[in-house]
Structure 1
Amino acid sequence: MKNVILKHKHDKKYRDGYLVLEEADIFDRDTMTEGERFVLKTSEGAELGLFYYGRQNRGAGYKIGDDLETRLDVSYFKGLFEDAKGEREALYNAEHTNAFRVYNGEGDGLGGFTVDDYDGHFLIQWYSKGIYYYKDEIVESLREVFHYKTLHEKLRFDKNVPTHRISEESVEFPIIITENNLFYTIHFEEGPMTGLFLDQRDVRNKIMSLDLEGPMLNLFAYSGGFSVAAAKNGMETVSVDIAKRSLELIEQNFALNEINVDKQLLYTMDVFDMLKYCLRKRMKFDLIVIDPPSFSRSKKKRFSVKDNYNELIEGALPVLNRGGYLVLSTNASNYTLPHFKKMINETLDGRRFEITDIMGLPKDFRTTTHYKPSKYLKVVFVKILD
């Protein structure tokens, strides 16, 4: 068995069960290939568990467990999937929703990959080349535990490889899924995204229940999930995204849900420019949703959640009605909820406001206390009172 030795005094979090080996904590290691199992040891030689080698961002491997004899075979993955399936029984029986996550990496026992169900069409997303080594065992286990119509995969560790179909059965995209009695188009074969962020399901449902008449401004709109929810709640919406393809997706989703497009405005524009435009045109909103990417770069600006989110809030405040809501969302795993709330409070200093809701991942996106970055989604509802 191969070994990896930690730096001196870098072992506490792994003793506490931390599930991802970080490259910066390694002192020495045996030569190994992606997917190979190894024992993690302290600088004094104490064994801290069995891992598999898999590079992803700053990570170098994922914990399998404390039993050093564990093999990543079909029976192992069947156990993971059977447990994951049992945890999601309510969603399998739901009549209003047929798209959700069936396996969520570290939260369901082993990191490096996820599996989503879009009305019976399964999508595996491989984030680590190391876990891809066990593709055959994982696919066989999925076949034995789940009933699906088709099976596809995205190699997220290799951006040059398009989505593949694994199953013999095929499907013509786009497909249509149901979420909280709303409908959305899904396409596995158009880049890294599918057409809907399943982790925001509860937030979209919350927007449908807000006691607001509108209008609503949706920044970084992508396929318009928040806009569809707001429009179904009776609001007129303004959706903004810098990508022209996004506006096509939004129009499709409006049409699927029989929403009058004439009352919904769509803009292809940088969001900072859009906020200035709204101010010039004296456009005012009861609800503004801000859900930016963690990091982006354009000819005009470099944006990161940590450094620039406050600028989005500052730009939104002048076009928000009194009593209106800001829905502030980030999926930056390295930006904790306390830091996010601190930034919000500091940015709104001098204003009267109330944090009415704090939301995170839905239950199918299982998380674990042994890997805090698994709780990456943070959504804060702020009501501006003055």
Structure 2
Amino acid sequence: MTKEIRLQVQKNHEKKYKKGYPLLSKEALINPESIYKEGSLFQLLDSEGNFIGRGYYGLQNKGMGWVLTHKEKDAIDHLFFQRKIAAAINKRSPFYHREDTTAFRIFNGEGDGIGGLTIDSYGEYYLINWYSLGIYRFREEILSALNLLIQPQGVYEKKRFDQQGQYVEDEDFASGTPADFPLRVKENGVNIEVNLNDGAMTGVFLDQREVRKKLRDQYAKGKTLLNTFSYTGVFSVFGALGGAKHTTSVDLAKRSLELTRAQFLANGIDPETQEIRVEDVFNFFDYGLKQGLKYDLVVLDPPSFARSKKHTFSAKKDYTGLLKSAIDLTEDQGVILASTNCATFDMKTFKGFVSKAFKEKQLTFKILEEHTLPKDFPTHPSFPEGDYLKVLFIKKETNP
């Protein structure tokens, strides 16, 4: 293991780190220049030299490393990683006994005690996301722990070393026996086809599992559904299985047509009975407004940041405007499923975007329910930024 570096915290930052804040930031340190290599271990000390915690240096968009323990006797070694992963798996034991759901998260970064690392289960195969070169330097220890504790059929990995969290193109297979893709998993009884070795994404965002179930079970029956930024169309599949009269899926990616068709077919639904459009969502909103299109249920789940030839979208700046476009295509008494995974604002701010959008449209609304991360995505109590998912079911009330 790397020799530990002693880092001191600025006096005005001591309190939050002593309370358990896990993210290391440059501005919090007296001597940040002491760190020189990703994966370096550090001791975090207060301004008087007293021990606060121990962690590793790893640059990512969130910061420059993570505190992993506040126990001075804890060593960051293979046994440490084994204990953390074992504890996380134990917490997910109910998922391992479910036949209707075979895809879920078994390790959620700082929420399970190791910031910069996530591990997902897709049946007998597992996917590791490395969010910095720093945590990747512990790859052998973590892979060894995973193979010891679970004996997976195979392990794949995604390297997100870019400081904006972008995917690093590289070999995705890590260990075990390679899978035959697409790999079919289940989510609340629905078949989902995933690819663990084909770019940054897999085919489904696991954090929306309970939201999709809610849409299927309580909102879809007899409704017309518009699914924007639809990716592989999983929300549309859940809508169709919930009795939606018709679904329309819209996504700019050319591959979304093929992948969405595959998801419908995996569940015995003829994709020809549904509408799948490869189109810029912003252009579709303009088209829908001109054509007078209206839907009973609109799914609005954009990426935090997106860019097309004509449009640039930032959730923090542009969600209100996007929601106004969705309102235009929603029937009176219809429902908008508004969602964002942007971590730079909280649920209160998100609700403010909703209020502003409806106010500017001179309409009233009612929030029917709200959702955040599911149980297999635990967050750190001292790190609210980790609770990034915000979902609202919003009823558009009839115009006065």
TM-score norm. by structure 1 comes to 0.96
Structure 1 unpaired stretches of 5+: none
Given candidates 140, 151, 175, the residue that maps to 1:167 is 175
1:339 maps to which residue? 349
Given candidates 25, 28, 36, the residue that maps to 1:25 is 28
| Correspondence list, 1:191-270, <5 A | 191-211=199-219, 212-235=221-244, 236-270=246-280
1:292 maps to which residue? 302
Q: Is the CA contact 1:222–1:247 (under 8 Å) kept in the aligned structure 2?
A: no
2:370 maps to which residue? 358
Given candidates 133, 136, 144, the residue that maps to 1:132 is 136
Give the count of matched residue pairs: 386
1:61 maps to which residue? 65
Quick check: 1:281 aligned with 2:285? no
Residue type of the partner of 2:111? G
C-alpha displacement of 1:187:
0.7
C-alpha displacement of 1:130:
1.1
C-alpha displacement of 1:190:
1.5
C-alpha displacement of 1:247:
1.5
Alignment partner of 1:239: what SS? strand
Aligned mates of 1:312, 1:20 — CA distance in 2: 32
1:49 maps to which residue? 53
Residue type of the partner of 2:121? D
C-alpha displacement of 1:109:
1.1
1:180 maps to which residue? 188
| Correspondence list, 1:68-87, <5 A | 68-87=72-91
C-alpha displacement of 1:72:
2.2
TM-score norm. by structure 2 comes to 0.93
Alignment partner of 1:329: what SS? strand
User: Once the two structures are superposed, what CA deviation does each residue of 1:57-87 show, in whole Å capped at 9, x if it has no partner?
Assistant: 1411111111234222222122112211111
RMSD: 1.5
Given candidates 376, 382, 387, the residue that maps to 1:375 is 387
Alignment partner of 1:11: what SS? helix
Q: Is the CA contact 1:105–1:113 (under 8 Å) kept in the aligned structure 2?
A: yes
Structure 2 unpaired stretches of 5+: none
Aligned mates of 1:36, 1:69 — CA distance in 2: 18
C-alpha displacement of 1:105:
0.9
C-alpha displacement of 1:46:
3.7
Q: Is the CA contact 1:180–1:205 (under 8 Å) kept in the aligned structure 2?
A: yes
Aligned mates of 1:263, 1:164 — CA distance in 2: 35
C-alpha displacement of 1:8:
4.0
Alignment partner of 2:31: what SS? strand
C-alpha displacement of 1:281:
2.0
1:110 maps to which residue? 114
User: Once the two structures are superposed, what CA deviation does each residue of 1:289-348 show, in whole Å capped at 9, x if it has no partner?
Assistant: 000110122231221001111111111112211111000000001111110011111211
Quick check: 1:307 aligned with 2:310? no
C-alpha displacement of 1:44:
4.0
Alignment partner of 2:84: what SS? helix
Aligned mates of 2:68, 2:322 — CA distance in 1: 41
